[in-house]
Structure 1
Amino acid sequence: MSATDYCDLCDLPLSTCVHGMPKPVEPPPAPPKAPPKASPVTRRRTTTAASAGSTAPAAPARPRRRTPSVDFKPWIVKLLQEAGGQAESDDLLTELAERLGDVLRPGDLEKGPTGEVRWRTAARTARKELADDGLLLAPRPGTWALTDRGRVEWVPDLPSA
């Protein structure tokens, strides 16, 4: 090796010395990406009779498996009004089961993840929504009561049971 093969600053071979190494070359820019290929399945929007402005009736909606909690609201208010504005929750739910026994759907009678029958959970949700609306309160645990507003302002419109 000759003297020129060594760095004057650090006495290392130029091939390993940071002073003698050439500056790193910037990598060439990446080639532009090709546009994504079209999927092998081409989906086309088809015009149906309903979307084309035809007067054909729409397909019937799928029937619900369970009664929505909103449907319990008028019944809860009606039963509380009949009870004088206040009732024990268990008594009220028992009366609700008697009145709505024929109306409850098969999914209402299944047990939910908490172990309670689903219609009772929906009725409790309806009670909470009535309380949020200012129509109901719980003066003590296990008791549901109508507020003055619930006694006077809201007359439930009950579906035939």
Structure 2
Amino acid sequence: MTSSEDYCELCDLPLSQCVHGRPPTPPAEKPAPAAARTTTRTSRTTSRTTTRAASPTATGRATVSSRPPRRTPQREFRRHILGALQDSGGRADVEDLMAEVARRMEEVLRPADHETVNQGELRWRYAARLERRAMQDEGLMVPPSRPGLWELSDAGLTATD
């Protein structure tokens, strides 16, 4: 039997299992001196270019910060959700809608979008649900009248993106 001293007062879990009983993470490495970083910016109407000197990591390899994002940005789902709902008359069952969004975004989705998050849900489906919530907050979609139904508002029916 374990004594009460072995349990965390904050989360009531054994110290070996809770985040509070773990040793603190080591301090982060100091950033490179300002002289090692250079930034070049152009106007928004053209393009933005950022150049940084590569700094070696703990393994001795240089890091490059100009790689594309690992996953599709949440906002990218909006036009596909809008298009699929507009094509279905403004409302659709969530499973049918997700199948159509997956079909429309087949060439857009990245490998990390197919990883699982939140109890096994695919990352891209989670991002689509978050974008639906943002669209609802902006008045493009109405709150669900029944579970599993996504529905556009009048503004959403005429929106282009």
The TM tier, using the shorter chain, reads: 0.5 to 0.7
Q: What percent of counterpart residues are identical?
A: 40
Distance 1:72 1:132 in 2: 15
Which of 103, 106, 119 matches 1:101? 106
Which of 35, 57, 62 matches 1:46? 35
Q: Which residue of structure 1 aligns with residue 154 of structure 2?
A: 148
Give unpaired runs (5+ residues) of structure 1.
Answer: 1-42, 52-56, 157-161
Distance 2:37 2:73 in 1: 31
- AA paired with 2:151? A
Q: Deviations over 1:70-107 (max 9, x none)?
A: 11011111111000011001000001111111210010
Distance 2:84 2:115 in 1: 24
Aligned-residue RMSD, C-alpha: 2.0
Q: Which residue of structure 2 aligns with residue 58 of structure 1?
A: 50
Q: Which one has the largest radius of gyration?
A: 1
Higher relative contact order (CA 8 A, sep 6+): 1
The SS at the match of 1:96 is: helix
Structure 1 length-normalised TM: 0.61
User: Would you say how many aligned residue pairs link Structure 1 and Structure 2?
Assistant: 108
Structure 2 length-normalised TM: 0.61
Give unpaired runs (5+ residues) of structure 2.
Answer: 1-31, 41-48, 52-64
